[in-house]
Amino acid sequence: MAPTSPLRLVLVDDHEMVIEGLKAMLLTFGDRVEVVGQAIGAEQAVTVVQELQPDIVLCDVRMQGSSGLDLCLTLRERDPDRKVVMLSVYDDEQYLFQALRVGASGYLLKSISSDELVRQLEFAHRGQTAIDPSMAARAADTAARLQRDEFWPGVRQGLTQRESEILSYVVNGLSNRGIAGKLVIGEETVKTHLSSIYRKLGVSDRTGAVATALREGIYQ
């Protein structure tokens, strides 16, 4: 059953054209969803959400500067009950699990139809997890395989297979140059992967990454 009054929605993306497209998609569903505000980028979004107190924030996963995942963390640190639904072009279960790990209320693809978008937003509004229908079956299968430990170390923390490899070398004390030599990649590529690893583990440096990897049992 749809809510008796429209759910109040704030749209966040780093491209205004995407925001305008979403507003146009939702225009015919005004009795169910009201777009009360919008923000270009994560920094502006924090202020807009604080001022408008929407029911749901619909946010792009990848934005310039701070990511949508970082924004979700920030918003939920300020208000643990804040509902944030991620919107992405990435049809990848790892992004989905990363989003859920930072407290998102759902993960939808930008290819979603307007009526399905509204339906999923209403799910999230009622406290359910909104998952794009095209990903639901694969996500369930991946979750089951995670429980059986059929993936590489660190996948539960959202690490990719290459990031897992790099973290294992960090745990074993290799320098960036040493890791680059082992994997036959550039040192700048190693640094980029390390930045991603630090963000996903919630740490700021190699020492923190090693401590977290050992504490969480990623590597023994």
pLDDT for the residue numbered 2: 47
pLDDT, tens only, 4-15: 789 999 999 989
In the block, tokens 């749209």 appear at: 11
pLDDT, tens only, 112-152: 999 999 999 999 999 998 988 888 766 666 655 555 555 67
For every residue of 56-89, DSSP letters joined together read EEEEES--SSS-HHHHHHHHHHH-TT--EEEEES
| Higher-scoring residue by pLDDT: 21, 97 | 21
For residue 14, which of 46, 43, 48 has the smallest C-alpha distance? 43
- Average pLDDT over the chain reads 87
Write 117-123 long-range contacts (CB < 8 A, 24+). Answer: 117/25, 117/26, 118/26, 118/29, 118/32, 118/33, 120/85, 121/7, 121/9, 121/33, 121/56, 121/58, 121/85, 122/2, 122/3, 122/7, 122/32
pLDDT, tens only, 142-178: 655 555 555 677 877 878 888 988 998 999 899 999 9
pLDDT reading at 93 higher than 80: no
pLDDT for the residue numbered 155: 74
Please report the domains of the chain, with CATH numbers, ordered by start residue: 7-140 (3.40.50.2300), 155-215 (1.10.10.10)
pLDDT reading at 1 higher than 50: no
Please give the Cα distance from 22 to 78 (Å, whole number).
26
